[in-house]
């Protein structure tokens, strides 16, 4: 069921049940991060392997110190600057965080999100929430309560409706080696924005062999229908025999009905494109088409994270 009953959400979470929650990035499938039963349920409902760890969500800087042993200086600076927001930090965990949350890693992924309803829920709980994106493992992340309902509605108690997600891309994951900051997943906060605050960072978001953030395995974010990346104009010729859908950054193309073309941002705005991306992929995935043709954005700012999701979607094809 979808609704705005915060009292009910708090009650369900205290009972150890799972709830779909809005964040500014994507919707999460939330449960008590300190309760092994709730955690087991999260993996089950998502059909997610337990070697893929979960992000812990809390609502205040003070509480973070209950869960982590210490914070490198740059982590502290980033947290002060970007929380609540689309930044997840990998930090050494205290024993109170179950190994199931981190898949046995000594590091816990933690963030303070930025969504009024979810912050209200967190402020009324005496435990943090583990929340992966609220989609079945390997599918596109949900950016509305209706997306969650469509795929997990029969498996969870309640979905808290917080409207459509403001950012539309998952959080950026940052870890540390000594004092060097490393980006493990490109996301809603751009590398440029992070570098403005702490200087040059290293990006390791591409290693797919033994990823530190296994959610970044290539086949993630994938629609069911094959997605082909390239110059859409040329691809239209190449795939002329098939029923084509188009996922384009800025413009419509000739030769394909416009109702089978989804434009991320006609004015070429990265933020607008990010907000529309997953929803557009879902819409195309439900159309009567055989192939999705898509083009990449300029490799800068949020364009990098959007391109990352497009490449992963294409990798399944
Ligand atoms: O924006 C977000 O981060 C959303 C919202 C709901 O907060 N959550 C999200 O969770 O995207 P999920 O589970 O779909 O992706 C979490 C990523 C995965 O790639 C996972 O492998 C990585 O974070 N991760 C979680 N804990 C980790 C840890 N201890 N060490 C390394 N990677 C970790
Ligand atoms: Mg996910």
Does 188 score more than 80 pLDDT? yes
Cα of 77 from ligand 2 centre, angstroms = 26
Over pLDDT 90: what percentage of the chain? Answer: 92
Cα distances (Å, whole numbers) of residue 88 to 54, 67, 131: 11, 14, 12
So what's the pLDDT on residue 216?
52
Ligand 1 centroid from CA 8, angstroms: 26
Confidence of residue 205 (pLDDT cuts 50, 70, 90): confident
Give the pTM. 0.95
User: What is the biggest distance separating any 2 CA atoms in the chain, rounded to whole angstroms?
Assistant: 59
Q: How confident is the model at residue 210 (pLDDT cuts 50, 70, 90)?
A: very low
Q: What is the pLDDT of residues 87-100, one digit of tens each?
A: 999 999 999 999 99
Residue 178 pLDDT: 87
Residue 131 Cβ inside 6 Å of ligand 1? The answer reads yes
Judged by DSSP in three states, 23 sits in: coil
- 148-182 per-position pLDDT tens digit: 999 999 999 999 999 999 999 999 999 999 889 99
Determine the pLDDT at residue 122: 98
The per-residue pLDDT of the chain, averaged, comes to: 94
* % of the chain residues with pLDDT over 70: 94
Average pLDDT over residues 252-280: 97
Confidence grade of residue 221 (pLDDT, cut at 50, 70, 90): low
Quote the pLDDT of residue 220. 60
For the segment 27-59, what is each residue's pLDDT rounded down to a tens digit? 999 999 999 999 999 999 999 999 999 999 999
Residue 305 has pLDDT above 80, yes or no: yes
Instruction: Indicate if the pLDDT at residue 215 is higher than 70.
Output: no
The atom of ligand 1 lying closest to the CA of 215 is 19
Report pLDDT for 92: 98
Which ligand does the CA of 171 lie closest to? 1
DSSP symbols for 189-250? S-HHHHHHHH---EE-TT--SS-SSGGG-TTTT--SS-EEES-HHHHHHHTTTS-EEEEESS
Q: Which atom of ligand 1 is nearest to the CA of 170?
A: 1
CA–centroid distance, 90 to ligand 2, in Å, is 16
Ligand 1 atom, smallest distance to 25 CA? 1
Q: Spell out the alpha helix ranges (H) of the chain.
A: 6-14, 36-46, 61-67, 73-82, 99-102, 116-123, 145-152, 191-198, 232-238, 270-285, 302-315
Cα R_g (the chain), whole angstroms: 19
pLDDT digits (tens, 9 = 90+) for 119-149: 999 999 999 999 999 999 989 999 999 999 9
Res 231 pLDDT > 90: yes
Per DSSP, the three-state class of 253 is coil
Token pair 């795939």 is at which residue? 239
Q: What is the dihedral of CA 304, 310, 311, 312, to 10 degrees?
A: 110
For the Cβ of 262 lying below 6 angstroms from any atom of ligand 1, the answer is no
Q: What is the DSSP letter of 133?
A: B
* Eight-state DSSP code of residue 316: T
Res 259 pLDDT > 60: yes
Listed in sequence order, the residues at least 6 apart from 173 whose beta carbon sits closer than 8 Å to its beta carbon are 88, 90, 109, 183, 184, 185, 187, 213
């Amino acid at each position: 069921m979808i609704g705005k009953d915060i009292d009910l959400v708090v009650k369900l979470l205290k009972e150890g049940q799972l709830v779909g929650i809005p964040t500014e990035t994507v919707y999460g499938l939330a449960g008590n991060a300190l309760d092994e039963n709730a955690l087991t349920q999260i993996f089950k409902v998502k059909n997610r392997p337990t070697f893929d760890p979960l992000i812990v969500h809390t609502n205040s800087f003070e509480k973070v110190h209950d869960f982590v042993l210490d914070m490198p200086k740059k982590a502290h600076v980033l947290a002060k600057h970007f929380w609540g927001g689309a930044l997840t930090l990998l930090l050494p965990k205290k024993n109170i965080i179950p190994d199931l949350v981190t898949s046995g890693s000594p590091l816990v992924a933690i963030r303070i999100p930025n969504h009024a309803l979810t912050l209200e829920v967190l402020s009324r709980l005496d435990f943090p929430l583990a929340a992966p994106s609220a989609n079945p493992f390997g599918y596109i992340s949900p950016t509305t309560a209706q997306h969650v309902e469509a795929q997990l509605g029969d498996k969870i108690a309640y979905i808290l409706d917080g409207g459509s997600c403001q950012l539309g891309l998952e959080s950026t994951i940052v870890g540390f080696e000594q004092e060097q900051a490393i980006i493990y997943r490109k996301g809603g906060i751009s590398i440029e924005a992070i570098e403005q605050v702490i200087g040059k960072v290293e990006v390791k978001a591409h290693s797919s062999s033994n990823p530190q953030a296994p959610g970044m395995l290539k086949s993630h974010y994938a629609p069911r229908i094959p997605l082909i990346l390239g110059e859409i104009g040329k691809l239209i010729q190449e795939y002329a025999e098939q029923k084509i859908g188009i996922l384009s950054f800025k413009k419509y193309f000739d030769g394909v009905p416009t109702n089978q073309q989804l434009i991320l941002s006609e004015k070429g705005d990265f933020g607008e494109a990010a907000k529309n991306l997953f929803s557009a992929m879902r819409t195309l995935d439900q159309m009567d088409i055989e192939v999705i043709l898509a083009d990449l954005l300029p490799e800068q700012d949020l364009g990098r994270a959007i391109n990352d999701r497009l490449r992963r979607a294409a990798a399944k094809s």
